[in-house]
Amino acid sequence: MKNISAIFYVAAVALMASCQLKDVENPNITDKSFVGTTQSSSIWLNGMYRQLALTLNEVVSFTEITSDNYYNNSSLSNKVFDIPTILFSDLDVDNMQRAVGRLYQMAEYGINQVAPADVTATNDIKAEMNFLGGYACILASELYKGLPLEANGPVVSSGDILRKAIAYFDKAISLQLDPNKKNNYTLAKARAYYNLGDRTNAQATAQTIITTAPTLVLNAVYDGINGVSNTMQSNTFSSSTNTFAPLPRLDFLDPKYYHVGNASADQKPIAILKGEEAFLIVAEAQLGSNLLTDARTTLKQLITNVVNVRPTASVNAATQQRKGNRSDYPLLATVQVKFDAASPARPGFILDRQAGNITVKRVSGTSVRTADIDAAGTKDELVYLLCLMRQEIFMSEGRRMTDLGIRFPISQVEKQNNPNVTDAQTIATIPAYIPGQLGMDDFTYDRTASIVTMKHDMNKVLVQQQATAGVLPLLK
């Protein structure tokens, strides 16, 4: 008889009634005594949602500092991903792989063992389990070029993992009656097609969301009192050290997660899917087909109909003083920003957090305006704006690293225990166009001129690399 370990038997039994996340771990419970009991499938699903929150804590924090969104401004988190240096022996690499693997394995166990044996398992529960299995596959494919999906199993390519994700989403859609949840699954499916570079299916599926649910948002929920706190919120706002600092040109978008009053009692959710992505997918597909006028229209609709109507909040952010590894972070709203040395100086990117409350973009924000899109006369200029909008809209959500073409290695622990893992698969994918030695996060600050200048504009780099595998998949 096999005991269900604490890794897999985690349940949020209070979630259904109060949206609170609470651990339930009992080493005396075995799979035989649990599987087949009434309500076991709903308990297991709640545990899966808790694992989703835990997984995002690993993924979002580490991918954000690996990218050009944030840098580690203190010594309280990984100190080398910023460089970027990503070694298969790094404990954080192993922790992230474990978190994604747990979510996937919990989905598999729930779908194949728990739900079939529970007479109270509904199609809604089964659909949600399939959705979370597909979402785990999405994460695996976006973070890795390949990953084993079972203990000591073969390394499955990211493409095959994405095809498995689509199968999960199709099953979830077939089981689900709630139209809002169907839309969630459909957008996730569009994201899978996007990552596969399947322009036709990605565009058609995403267009469905533009038509039916353009302002869709699906969140992973956190509860600092009864369960899981939002690590990214702590890193960017709630911690007295504000461990992470954004690149100065992204300062106006930080923090996305904040607390008012007691931090534990006010844990903000993380969006795992939102309607903005559908517009970005369709616009990229249109650019890939050289339909510049259509892409221009789609991007303007995204700004006018979605981003501009997203909720904001007025927040006291005076504790965000950007003190840490760098002493030259610009703090005054009078400072202008140059995206690189060749770019013009622009106002409005730095917020003076000591002058009063700041306006926080709770779901999405962008510096791009409809006039900028109208002024973009060439395909490359539109591609640049698309890259910038993707970066700004998905800020603090763990998406930018993938867009840059960086992928994590399979961990050393996996390599030591799985004979199917090759040495090549334990090396991170860091393309040659990615600046080293903290270059993606570097800037200079001319206090006399009140201008801060980024060392690199990685969106210009992405435009230059648009034909490279791993970036802008629908332009190929």
pLDDT, tens digit, 9 for 90 and up, residues 342-373: 999 999 999 999 999 999 999 999 999 999 99
Where in the sequence is the domain holding 287, given as residue range(s)? 15-475
Residue 7 lies in a domain: no
The answer to whether 418 and 94 have CB atoms below 8 angstroms apart is no
* Position 31 pLDDT exceeds 80: no
Q: What percent of the chain has pLDDT over 90?
A: 89
Residue 401 tokens, joined: 């690293």
* CA pair distance 400, 357, nearest whole angstrom: 28
Residue 339 lies in a domain: yes
Q: How far is CA 237 from CA 23, 54, 320, in A?
A: 25, 19, 7
Residue 95 lies in a domain: yes
Alpha helices in 333-407 (DSSP H): 370-375, 379-393, 400-403
Whole-number pLDDT of residue 29: 55
Residue 466 lies in a domain: yes
Number of structural domains in the chain: 1
Residue 2 lies in a domain: no
Residue 5 lies in a domain: no
Q: What's the whole-model pTM score?
A: 0.94
Structure confidence at residue 285 as a pLDDT band (50, 70, 90): very high
Residue pLDDT, tens place only, 168-216: 999 999 999 999 999 999 999 999 999 999 999 999 999 999 999 999 9
Q: What phi and psi, each to the nearest 5 degrees, are found at residue 224?
A: -75, -15
Residue 3 lies in a domain: no
- R_g over Cα of the chain: 22
Whole-number pLDDT of residue 325: 86
Residue 79 lies in a domain: yes
CATH code of the domain in which 176 resides: 1.25.40
Residue pLDDT, tens place only, 205-250: 999 999 999 999 999 999 999 889 999 999 999 998 889 999 999 9
